Amino acid sequence: MNLHIKKRIVCAMSGGVDSSVSAALLKKKGYEVIGCFMRNWEKHEDDDSTTKCTSDKDLEDAIYVSNQLNIRLHIVDFIKDYWTKVFEPFLDDYQHGLTPNPDILCNKYVKFDSLFKYCQERLDTTYLATGHYAQVKQDKQGIKYYYKLMRGYDMKKDQSFFLCHLEKSVLPFIEFPIGGMMKSDVKRLANELNLERISQKTESMGLCFIGKRKFSSFISQYISDNIGHIKSIETNEIIGEHYGLHRYTIGQRITPINKQHKSSKPLFIAKKDLINNIIYAAPGTNHPALFTKSFDTDIPHWINEIPCLLKETSQYQCDFRFQHKHRPLPVMLSLTAKNTLHVSLPIPIRAICPGQYAVFYNENEVLGAARIIDSGTSLYDLQWTEPLISSDLILNMC
């Protein structure tokens, strides 16, 4: 990093320990650090939550840290951008029976687009840092240099999954100061900086706009309930009713309302029929109807270029994750005539949900991602008879 060129840098500050230590490390390296606190959400008239969004408390903490580190803090309003580019697509996906990932969209459209442009236009710098557990590395290909997005050093905290839709044009201007550190070392450093108040905070989980509410209660404020039938995946019999497809996701346990048949096992969602407003449920958490050995995606986003082998032979073996806490799993990608992907899995995977993202890796490098559009033929439809165990047990192994 050439400091005489990149002397000024903006650090996105959330009031948490990761962004706070990131700002401190940048200052220690000699940067002129400008803090930026992003307001992305405000309570709306149709939001009947009694749970206060943590944003106000987070702002207090960001101000406290900026004072401790003696850096300027800007408060930036991206509420409109978040609403139109993240939240409205989030609602639209649920209305169409999909399971979205708003964190990926927030990074793509708000943090590394709207905030990045704000740095250029208002703060006279093109350099942006965040507290993500990820890394950017420079590599050489022939006579040209290019930048790669890499997993964080702390594999348990790695957040590269949520950065899978970054554009290669922003990588040379991004810093992840704690990407090469363990979380335990980040907290220790915060204490050494007299930021115990921040290091002892409970880590934020989930989405701010939902807070501590049940997801079903939250989503029903924006999408009206639409009662429909729950049918048995095995017999096609009606076994009860549901409140609306938007409340549920593939693999989730479901308790029918107006139950018409008793089941000896808990019921789990195997399939959703959007046209007829029907949920098909399977008895038991490891029923073959919940598993697949392949799925299809839309046109992928590659951070740099499409892998040469995939381009030349339409086949490419790499690793993938569809949930950020899962360890990468080797898969075979097949490029279709429409430039979409067919993904073949080495083991049956439970609850592949349309709307989620498949993120692809070459060892620790993030290659890109593609949105899942079809979860493939279930093992039940393939008349699978072998015993199954939850793939989470395998994917969560370190």
Domain boundary among 234, 259, 284: 284
Q: Are residues 256 and 334 in the same domain?
A: no
| Full 3-state SS string of 112-166 | HHHHHHHHHHHCCCCCEECCCCEEEEEEEECCEEEEEEEECCCCCCCCHHHHCCC
Q: Are residues 280 and 293 in the same domain?
A: no
Domain boundary among 196, 215, 234: 215
Q: Are residues 259 and 178 in the same domain?
A: no
pLDDT of residue 51: 43
Report the 10 Å Cβ neighbour count for 174. 22
Tell me whether residue 388 is in a domain. yes
Task: Pick the closest to residue 146 from 382, 367, 398 (CA basis).
Answer: 367
CA pair distance 222, 271, nearest whole angstrom: 23
Contact 178, 131 (CB under 8 A): yes
Contact 285, 268 (CB under 8 A): yes
Q: Are residues 13 and 138 in the same domain?
A: yes
Q: Is 208 part of the annotated catalytic residue set?
A: yes
- In terms of C-beta distances under 8 Å and separation of at least 24 residues, what long-range contacts does 207-210 make, across chains too? 207/102, 207/103, 208/40, 208/41, 208/53, 208/54, 208/55, 209/41, 209/47, 209/53, 209/87
Tell me whether residue 21 is in a domain. yes
Q: Are residues 190 and 241 in the same domain?
A: no
Q: What's the sign of the alpha-carbon dihedral 142, 143, 148, 153?
A: positive
Our count of domains for the chain comes to 3
Question: What CATH number does the domain containing 243 carry?
Answer: 2.30.30.280
Residue 260, domain extent: 225-284
pLDDT of residue 1: 47
Tell me whether residue 58 is in a domain. yes
Return the SS3 of 33: strand
pLDDT of residue 152: 97
Q: Which of 11, 36, 106, 119 is catalytic?
A: 106
pLDDT tens, per residue, the chain with 398 residues: 444 455 899 999 999 999 999 999 999 999 999 999 999 987 655 555 544 557 788 999 999 999 999 999 999 999 999 999 999 999 999 999 999 999 999 999 999 999 999 999 999 999 999 999 999 999 877 777 889 999 999 999 999 999 999 999 999 999 999 999 999 999 999 999 999 999 988 876 656 556 556 777 788 889 999 999 999 999 999 999 999 999 999 999 999 998 877 778 999 999 999 999 999 999 999 999 999 999 999 999 999 999 999 999 999 999 999 998 889 999 999 999 999 999 999 999 999 999 999 999 999 999 999 999 999 999 999 999 888 888 877 787 55
Q: Are residues 22 and 148 in the same domain?
A: yes
pLDDT of residue 348: 95
Q: Are residues 89 and 230 in the same domain?
A: no
Tell me whether residue 220 is in a domain. no
Q: Are residues 294 and 280 in the same domain?
A: no
pTM: 0.91
Strand partners, 149: 136
Q: Are residues 167 and 197 in the same domain?
A: yes
Tell me whether residue 2 is in a domain. no
Q: Are residues 206 and 229 in the same domain?
A: no
Q: Are residues 182 and 303 in the same domain?
A: no
Q: Are residues 70 and 87 in the same domain?
A: yes
Tell me whether residue 3 is in a domain. no
Two tokens at 15? Answer: 């009031």
pLDDT of residue 210: 61
Question: What CATH number does the domain containing 167 carry?
Answer: 3.40.50.620
Helix ranges (DSSP H) in 4-83: 17-28, 55-69, 79-82
Question: What CATH number does the domain containing 305 carry?
Answer: 2.40.30.10
For residue 104, give the amino acid letter. I
Tell me whether residue 297 is in a domain. yes
Domain boundary among 248, 263, 284: 284
